[in-house]
């Protein structure tokens, strides 16, 4: 239940608790909250536990230089840290416009992503069974992140329009991706299994599901409706850490990740691959098949096309690009 926001005492005077409440008041995604909290805590530790009220531009620049020179972070990581600190100081602490910072920009280029060939992707998928095989097929066939996949609810699958709605993806944005036709039958079977499990939960006195952003108050009957149930529910009922209500959440991310790592080993694929490699492979296959990069950007949910362009470096290799002189 790692995607359920932590409970906060509204009367707490702790800096981090007040910052969490402020972030939630801005209606930012919980993933954004965790990112900002993580960076501000790292910043405070770097400055020997000084309170942010006693720090400013100089300390921020010191930290950004540390990330570049000593931690060797990528440019995007350094930028994420900067965004988090600017949010905390300019908006939460109300320091106003902080102006331009003088710091050493990270130089390490972004890594070229690890990608499965189509044959390798199918090998891994075929070493999985049941719902785990379906989940891997969905990641490879839609470009979903593992967290987005596990948060899917039955209502997000639109068989008539042939699409899948991704709610609150990275950056808190919604988007639409495609629904592979070959998976329709299996998905309908999975929904039937969820419906039977949900019916049993209702008979046992449970049947509610967690709804984010106070939706449960707006739609009081929704938590018990089939449409709102997770597409890949957990195998057991668990207790909500905030309310104490016993619910069936979605499958834990670590369970699927472990299954996929095992399938990669059994496939004898000697790459630094993981569940996220399916997402990289999805984008690469589309570009290899000459789909417009803007279309791929939208399906992937990238806010900047330069993020999508990294996959063009992969497609230029091997059979899709230049031939080695020894092959001529």
Active site residues: 145, 170, 276, 279, 302, 311
Distance of CA 142 to the CA centre of its chain: 14
**CA distances to 82, 84, 197 from 75, in Å:** 10, 14, 46
Strands (DSSP E) along 107-239, which ranges? 157-158, 163-166, 175-178, 238-239
The radius of gyration computed from the CA coordinates of the chain, to the nearest angstrom, equals: 22
Collapsing DSSP states into helix, strand and coil, what is residue 4? coil
Q: Number of helices and strands (H, E) in the chain? A: 13, 5
Residue 56 · residue 47 · CB < 8 Å: no
Mention every residue, 6+ apart, whose C-beta is less than 8 A from residue 157.
164, 179, 187, 191, 231
SS3 content of the chain, % helix, strand, coil (to 5): 55, 5, 40
Residue 57 · residue 77 · CB < 8 Å: no
Nearest residue to 320 (alpha-carbon basis) of 288, 290, 296? 288
Q: Which residues of 145-171 are buried (b: 16+ CB within 10 A; e: fewer)?
A: bbebbbbbbbebbeeeeebbbbebbbe
Mention every residue, 6+ apart, whose C-beta is less than 8 A from residue 60.
43, 82, 85, 89, 98, 101
Is the sign of the CA dihedral 42, 46, 48, 51 positive or negative? negative
């Amino acid at each position: 239940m790692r995607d359920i926001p932590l409970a906060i005492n509204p009367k707490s005077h702790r800096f981090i608790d007040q910052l969490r409440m402020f972030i939630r008041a801005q209606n930012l995604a919980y993933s954004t909250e965790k990112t900002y909290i993580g960076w501000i805590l790292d910043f405070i530790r770097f400055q020997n536990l000084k309170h942010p009220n006693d720090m400013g531009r100089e300390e921020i620049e010191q930290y950004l230089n540390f990330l570049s020179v000593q931690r060797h972070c990528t440019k995007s990581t350094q930028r994420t840290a900067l965004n988090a600190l600017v949010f905390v100081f300019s908006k939460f602490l109300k320091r106003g416009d902080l102006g331009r910072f003088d710091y050493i920009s990270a130089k390490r280029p972004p890594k070229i992503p690890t990608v499965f060939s189509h044959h390798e992707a199918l090998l891994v998928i075929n070493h999985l069974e049941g719902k785990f095989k379906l989940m891997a097929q969905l990641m490879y066939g839609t470009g979903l992140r593992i967290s987005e996949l596990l948060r899917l609810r039955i209502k997000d699958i639109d068989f008539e329009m042939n699409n899948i709605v991704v709610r609150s993806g990275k950056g808190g944005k919604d988007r639409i991706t495609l629904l592979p036709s070959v998976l329709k039958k299996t998905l309908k079977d999975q929904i039937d299994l969820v419906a039977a499990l949900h019916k049993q939960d209702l008979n046992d006195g449970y049947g509610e599901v967690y709804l984010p952003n106070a939706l449960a108050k707006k739609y009081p009957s929704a938590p018990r409706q089939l449409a709102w149930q997770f597409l890949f529910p957990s195998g057991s009922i668990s207790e909500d850490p905030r309310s104490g209500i016993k619910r069936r959440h979605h499958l834990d991310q670590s369970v699927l990740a472990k299954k996929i790592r095992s399938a990669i080993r059994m496939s004898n694929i000697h790459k630094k691959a993981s569940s996220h490699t399916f997402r990289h492979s999805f984008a690469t296959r589309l570009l290899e098949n000459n789909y417009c990069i803007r279309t791929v950007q939208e399906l992937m949910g990238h806010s900047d096309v330069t993020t999508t362009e990294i996959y063009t470096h992969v497609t230029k290799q091997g059979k899709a690009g230049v031939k080695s002189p020894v092959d001529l």
